[in-house]
Amino acid sequence: MKAFKNLFIPVGIAFVLALVLAQPTVAGSYYGKSAKADIVDTAIKAGSFNTLVTAVKEAGLVDVLKGDGPFTVFAPTDEAFAKIPKEQLEALLKDKEALTAVLTYHVVPGKVMAADVVKLDSAETVQGQSIAIDTSDGVMVDNAKVVKTDIVTSNGVIHVIDTVILPKQS
């Protein structure tokens, strides 16, 4: 379990970065249009969040992220998840409680657009802990760099991050 604790921050950062990197694909589909797809369907259509989508399914969070929201998701790309050693990622995917904690740490209630994020120094997540936000050199969420922003969905917004972020261990 200690190995998972050490992975929480990198995994969370990867999750957020993944969302940022995928923005051109997703945003291009919706730029100037009203979003019709929810967070889950948008992530699936982007094609760069396969690991995230698998994790959301394994944790049983699909219905929640297809719900009314609004939600702000700091989504790591597949490349972000690839930073986690394979055996650790596989173990995390099998531990529903730990996986749920990691995934909900990437979600903030409400629709927080990039213009709002840069005014914050932290935000409380659905998981219950707060993520740190640093805008001194780009936008960082915990130890993840936000690489794409404002992917608008029917039930919220996605910001792509380059690293999976992990909740703090108590």
Over residues 125-162, the pLDDT tens digits come to 999 999 999 999 899 999 999 999 999 999 999 999 99
Q: Is residue 46 helix, strand or coil? A: helix
79, 17 in Cβ contact below 8 A?
A: yes
Order of all β-strands in the sheet with 122-124: 107-109, 71-76, 156-161, 144-153, 140-141, 130-134, 122-124
Give me the pLDDT at residue 72, please: 97
Average pLDDT over residues 29-42: 69
Residue in this structure with the two tokens 């957020």, named with its chain if needed: 16
Residue 15 has pLDDT above 80, yes or no: no
pLDDT at residue 169, as a whole number: 82
Give residue 41's pLDDT band: very low, low, confident or very high (50, 70, 90).
Answer: very high
The pLDDT score that the predictor gives to residue 107 is 97
The CATH number of the structural domain formed by 2-160 is 2.30.180.10
Whether the predicted pLDDT of 62 surpasses 90 = yes
**Looking at 11-15, 94-98, 139-143, which range is the least confident one?**
11-15
Cβ atoms < 10 Å from Cβ of 97: 8
Q: Mean of the pLDDT values across residues 63-87? A: 95
* Residue 97's pLDDT band (cuts 50, 70, 90): very high
- What is the chain's mean pLDDT, rounded? 84
- Amino acid found at 123: A
Indicate whether 33 pLDDT > 90. Answer: no
- Residue 168 pLDDT more than 80? yes
Section 99-113 average pLDDT: 96
How much is the pLDDT for 56?
96
Q: What is the pLDDT averaged over residues 43-47?
A: 95
